[in-house]
Amino acid sequence: MTSATLTNKGATTKAVTTRPKALRSQSGLLYVLPFFVTFVLFLLWPLIYGIWMSFTDRDLAAGAEPELVGFANYAEALTDPMVWTTFGNTVLFTVMTTIPLVVLALAAALLVNMGLPGQWVWRMAFFVPYLLASTVVSLFWEWLYNPELGLINSVLGVFGIEGRSWLQDPDFAMAAIAVATTWWTLGFNFLLYLAALQNIPSTVYEAASIDGAGRWRQLFSITLPLLRNITMLILVLQVLASLKVFDQIFQMTAGGPDDSTRSILMYVYDTGFTNYRLGYASAISYIFFAIILILSLLQLRFARRSDQS
């Protein structure tokens, strides 16, 4: 998460000016030891072990010792149509969630920031779904999407619109999951935007008012340009979070119908834990990891460049 360095500009500059001179003491090693023991055991080692595993035919079901197979797993992954299908689904989900999760969060934050009465209620309404476990979100939405007994189709029926089996329809299942996901995680981006809005000094708006700029003019020439950095940050966090989607799809559709909602991480899970092909599953993970890493580095570079201009 790059958020820590980007959100709190005041704190970072202060950190640079009053940067403490560290005390020379080898006891520091003792302080970092507990963290690094867990770090090595549960992050670094799985990462390295996974690389090794991706070059073997490690199989949970087979009793035999795993054998090195060179790049066979990687070659298989690149020609495996399911890898491409699930990768495409994951990208689709990322686009379907990132856009509303940025636009709606911004709209909600702008509205709440107008200072209308009922602040506490607005904040709670937008943020509370974010606190739910994925299982709860899935149970809520499976019930709402229920074709005959669900609230959504009933309400649509009142307006004379015929609903459908949202989660069982290959054309709509992914969109239905994206809507549920937007509802679930909107509150996080909303709070980031709200905090950024409240950091804009009111003097900026006062000056604009004196110059005769109206509300809409102020929004487009002051507020939105000042929100560019936080929008970049939210975009980065959102894309990375959406690419890793697993829980809600696994729970609501299990990847179906016809694999139309199967995400790449779900395919890794299926390959590893349903088909027991740990070696092959690791190879798919690492291809995916490489893509995420390249994306993060690109975004980081892009953010830095736009910072300078």
Hey, which residues between 171 and 190 contact another protein (CB under 8 A)? 183, 186, 188
Instruction: Work out whether 226 is an interface residue with another protein (CB under 8 A).
Output: no
Helices 151-158 and 134-145, packing angle to 10 deg: 40
Q: How crowded is residue 270: how many other Cβ atoms within 10 Å of its Cβ?
A: 18
d(CA 1, CA 44): 18
DSSP state, residue 66: P
Hey, which residues between 76 and 95 contact another protein (CB under 8 A)? none
Instruction: Work out whether 27 is an interface residue with another protein (CB under 8 A).
Output: yes
Closest CB 305 distance from another protein, rounded Å? 19
DSSP state, residue 200: S
Hey, which residues between 1 and 20 contact another protein (CB under 8 A)? 1-4, 6-8, 11-12, 14-15, 18-20
Sign of CA dihedral 63, 66, 72, 74: positive
Options 62, 99, 103, 151; binder of another protein; rule CB under 8 A: 151
d(CA 279, CA 58): 5
Hey, which residues between 46 and 65 contact another protein (CB under 8 A)? 46-47, 49-50, 53, 58
Cβ closest to another protein, residue 251 vs residue 260: 251
Options 105, 129, 181, 255; binder of another protein; rule CB under 8 A: 129
Record the tokens describing residue 41, joined without a space.
Answer: 């055991």
Binding range to another protein, per CB under 8 A, among 72-80, 169-177, 221-229, 233-241: 233-241
Binding range to another protein, per CB under 8 A, among 83-91, 164-172, 219-227, 291-299: 291-299
Which residues, including other chains, have CB under 8 Å from residue 245's CB and lie 6 or more apart? 90, 93, 94, 97, 181, 263, 265
